[in-house]
Structure 1
């Protein structure tokens, strides 16, 4: 019923997103067929474009769930077009996550659609709006790892396997970070409607610094080790072993010296 209130143009998929999707498809084909002379370049473009697609879908999931929960303002804001340039903070949602992937191979949570919470009635709906984004990353990770946990790798080119493994690493990292119950992250948004007003009021000033706090913690060696051990354990459970994950990241960072082991088994 709420979708009828939005104009058709407010729900039309943006050419910007279609362009990113086209880059993903072409570079994915190049990675699969080995068409590119430099496979690392094709993997880099494929994973980066696919990562941006997942970020757009993450924000879209927030907006679409909010729309069906009562916030009809998301259409006028352009959130339903999948256009990353329409986000409240394109820097936080797109630029920084891509930079962190390139620099450190970590899936940085986005989160820059402005939802008018006052329009959404019911705590369950409030929680679902927050959970919709990281659940998209969970779904994306399931798709990327499907050939592994379905034992359907026969016929899948090795470089494409590596690319999927690294992309899955990014999705699992983003989902786990986003679900942390830290102010400013989606995990806190899930539990926030169930907290008392006094607690929410006391926590609110810390929300802008939540992500910085998480990354400060990850700088602590013991915390960093435990965090990534959890990530690797999840990937192992999905059938993605250390070789695929490591060589995927190595191939993605093509500008660095290639690991001899990965070069040999390729």
Structure 2
């Protein structure tokens, strides 16, 4: 029997998640105040911890929506605690997304909460569960870009603005890539309930390779250029300039050394 005490423990926010949020807050303060001489390292920690927080919220959104749609097993799996160590594939949900940010500045879609779909009735519910994760990235991108499109940047230090611009880029790329209707990604999960059983069975074997296929295509120079042109066009419409994202990524990759142009803008 499930007791109120066990339900509360299933939903209690994990100390691991709270620790990541604390790192984000402290390093965000360090970037804002320019407290640390190693500002690039502070930007690295701030953006990385904020990125992990967004990944946890992404997975939480899937889990919470599944819970309210009928999968009452979600709580026992630990998904509602926001603990990234509880995910079915921590490598896919946390490690690889962070590695891709470090190496290429791409918001890699995560995704590894096991949902017992058989408990859930209704195609709209299945679609909403899949959409909940990337919609969280969209919301995160809106929050990151709000100071830009609200013209509320007066008094905001340039370094913090750059970090926020780069973080917005990551959230936007994650949202768009997640919504690509390719097996293994959330976009296909939104579409799948509306497909025939025969098509779903034919597509199912390709699901483990969908994410790899998307990134293989992104490595094609023309596709990569077109993708990021679209990303930057959306960001510019929201008030985030190319300088903001470029210098944010330059600060984030502190081990490559500061860019003179960004130092001049920041100065």
TM-score by length of 2: 0.97
| Residues 10-159 of structure 1: pairs in structure 2 closer than 5 A | 10-159=10-159
Shift of 1:252: 0.6
Whole-Å separation in 1 of the counterparts to 2:262 and 2:92 = 33
Inter-partner Cα distance in structure 2 for 1:255 and 1:87? 30
**Counterpart Cα distance in 2 of 1:207 and 1:228:** 25
CA distance in 2, matches of 1:5, 1:224: 50
Q: Structure 1 CA distance, aligned partners of 2:258 and 2:40?
A: 10
The CA deviation string for residues 149-195 of structure 1, in whole angstroms up to 9 with x for no partner, is: 00000011110000000000000000000000000000000000000
Query: What is the alpha-carbon distance in structure 2 between the residues aligned to residue 82 and residue 168 of structure 1?
Result: 21
TM-aligned CA deviation for residue 6 of structure 1: 6.6
Show structure 1 runs of 4+ deviating over 3 A. Answer: 3-6
Alignment partners' CA distance in 1, 2:109 and 2:59 = 11
Distance 2:232 2:198 in 1: 38
* 1:189 corresponds to 2:194: no
Structure 2 gap segments, 5+ residues each: none
* Structure 1: unaligned runs, 5 residues or longer: none
Q: Secondary structure at the match of 1:42?
A: helix
Q: Which residue of 2 aligns with 1:207?
A: 207
Give the superposed CA RMSD: 1.4
Describe the shift of the 1:206–1:240 C-alpha distance in structure 2 as closer, same or farther (beyond 3 A): same
Q: Deviations over 1:220-257 (max 9, x none)?
A: 11111111111111111111010101000001101103
- Cα shift at 1:85: 0.2
For residues 81-140 of structure 1, the C-alpha deviation after alignment (integer angstroms, 9 at most, x for no partner) is 000000000010000100111111110000000011111110000000000000000000
Contact 1:6 1:72 in 2 (8 A): no
What's the offset of the Cα at 1:206? 0.3
**C-alpha separation in 1, matches of 2:253 and 2:221:** 23
TM-score normalised according to structure 1 size: 0.98
